[in-house]
Amino acid sequence: MLNEFQQPLKLLNRMTSCSVVLEAPVQRVAIFGGTHGNELSGVFLVKHWQKNGAEIQRSGLQVTPFITNPRAVKKCTRYIDCDLNRVFDPDNLGRKVMEDIPYEVRKAQEINNLFGPKGSDVAYDLIFDLHNTTSNMGGTLILENSGNDFIMQMFHYIKNALAPESCPVFLIEHPNLKYATTRSIAKHPVGVEVGPQPQGVLRADILDKMRKIIKHGLDFVRIFNEGEEFPPCTIEVYRIIEKVDYPRNKNDDIIAIIHPCLQDQDWQPLNKGDPVFLTCDGETIAYEGDSTVYPTFVNEAAYYEKKQAFVKTVKVKLTAKGLRSSSS
C-alpha cells in the first residue's frame, strides 16, 4: 500500500506523463543545399560536409548532406525549368517520366525515392533545407505545421542557444497557400532561411549564422535521442497571412518600388499609414490595413517573378507539449 507521501508522487508522475509526447528517436537526418542553385551558403556547407562530415555527425545519427539541384548549382541559377521547392506535391511526384518532363520535377521524384516516399513510415526523420534570401531576415527558421511538437521544441532550443541573437520563426501554414517544399518529404521538415545575401554570393557572417543553426539543431536531436525530457514550451512565431504584389499598370509593369522606410525592415511592425511603396514621381503609397502586420521577404530578388513584394505576417504564440523519446 502506498503511504501518504507516495500517493501524491504517483499522481504527479501520472499527470506529467500525460502531458508529454513520446516521439520515436530520430535516426536519419538529411541536410539539403542547392535547392536553389544560386543560394550559396547551403551549397558551400553541404559540399564541405560531403568531404569532411565530422562537424555534423552525432552519436546514433546518420546525417546525409545532399545537393538537391546539381544542374542549377553548376549554372549558379535558381532553377533550370521550374522551382524545385514548389513541386513536391502528389501530382508532380506521381507524373510519368517523359522526355518533356521539367528537370526539377524529375529531380523531385528522384529525391522523393531517396529520402521518402513523402508521407510514408520509411521517409527520413528530419530534413534541414538550407536557403538564402536577399531580404534582411537574419537567421530564420521555417515551420510548416503548427502541430509538430518535435520541431517546435527544437526551435525553442535553437532560439535559446542563439540568444540574445534574434532567430525568428516563420509559420507558412495557410489554408490557401500551398508550398510543396523539398523538405516536406521528411517526417520533420525544417527550413533554414538566412540573409541578407545577394544571389550567387557568399558572405562569412551569413554562413556562420546558418552553420550555428545546424549545429544547435543537431545537438537538440542528440540530446532528445539520449532520453532528455523537454517540458512544455511556448514560442513566438510569425504566421503568414497574405502575399503582397507590387503596384502595377494595365500592362502588368511594376510602377512603384519598396519604400526606403520599409526596405530592410523584415519582422518590424507595419501600421496603418506607414510608407510601403514609392513611385518614380515621388508618390508614397501607404499601408491601409487596420491592424499591425510584420512584413518579411521584403524586396526578395527571387520573388519578382512570383509577383511578390513582401509577405504579411502576424505574431502568434504556439505551445508545444512536453517531449521525450519513446526509446528512453
Cβ atoms of residues 255 and 249 within 8 Å = yes
How far is 143 from 239, CA to CA, in rounded Å?
Answer: 9
Averaged pLDDT, 17-29 = 85
Averaged pLDDT, 244-252 = 97
180 has binding-site annotation: yes
Is pLDDT above 50 for 14? no
Cβ atoms of residues 123 and 74 within 8 Å = no
Identify the residue whose cell numbers are 552525432: 58
How far is 94 from 12, CA to CA, in rounded Å?
Answer: 49
Averaged pLDDT, 44-55 = 97
Is pLDDT above 90 for 13? no
pLDDT at 16: 45
Is pTM beyond 0.85? Reply is yes
How far is 307 from 271, CA to CA, in rounded Å?
Answer: 22
Residues 31, 34, 39, 40, CA torsion sign: positive
179 has binding-site annotation: yes
Q: How far does the chain reach from its first CA to its final CA, in angstroms?
A: 28
Is residue 61 classed as helix, strand or coil in its secondary structure? coil
Averaged pLDDT, 41-62 = 96
The kind and range of the H/E element at 128 are: strand 126-132
Give the whole-number percent of the chain exceeding pLDDT 70. 94
How far is 5 from 44, CA to CA, in rounded Å?
Answer: 58
Dihedral, CA of residue 66, residue 213, residue 223 and residue 181, to nearest 10: -50
Average pLDDT, the chain: 93
Cβ atoms of residues 203 and 114 within 8 Å = no
Q: What is the pLDDT of residues 53-91, one digit of tens each?
A: 999 999 999 999 999 999 999 999 999 999 999 999 999
Segment among 23-27, 169-173, 304-308 with least mean pLDDT: 23-27
- The residue type of 33 is G
183 has binding-site annotation: yes
* Integer-rounded Cα radius of gyration of the chain: 22
Is pLDDT above 70 for 51? yes
- DSSP string computed for 218-244: HHHHHHHHTTPPBPPEEEEEEEEEEEE
Query: Whose CA is closest to 274, among 291, 261, 256?
Result: 261
pLDDT at 47: 98
Averaged pLDDT, 31-51 = 98
pLDDT at 44: 98
296 has binding-site annotation: no
259 has binding-site annotation: no
Q: Catalytic positions, please? A: 193
238 has binding-site annotation: no
Averaged pLDDT, 122-151 = 97
Residues 222, 223, 225, 230, CA torsion sign: negative
Is pLDDT above 90 for 38? yes
pLDDT at 228: 94
Averaged pLDDT, 115-124 = 95
pLDDT at 18: 56
Is pLDDT above 80 for 317? yes
DSSP state of 38: T
What domains are defined for the chain? 21-238 (3.40.630.10)
DSSP state of 141: E
234 has binding-site annotation: no
Averaged pLDDT, 110-115 = 97
pLDDT at 8: 45
Angle of CA points 292, 293, 296, to nearest 5°? 155
Is pLDDT above 60 for 1? no
CA 91 to chain centre: 23
Q: What is the pLDDT of residues 155-205, one digit of tens each?
A: 999 999 999 999 999 999 987 777 899 999 999 999 999 999 999 999 999
pLDDT at 328: 67
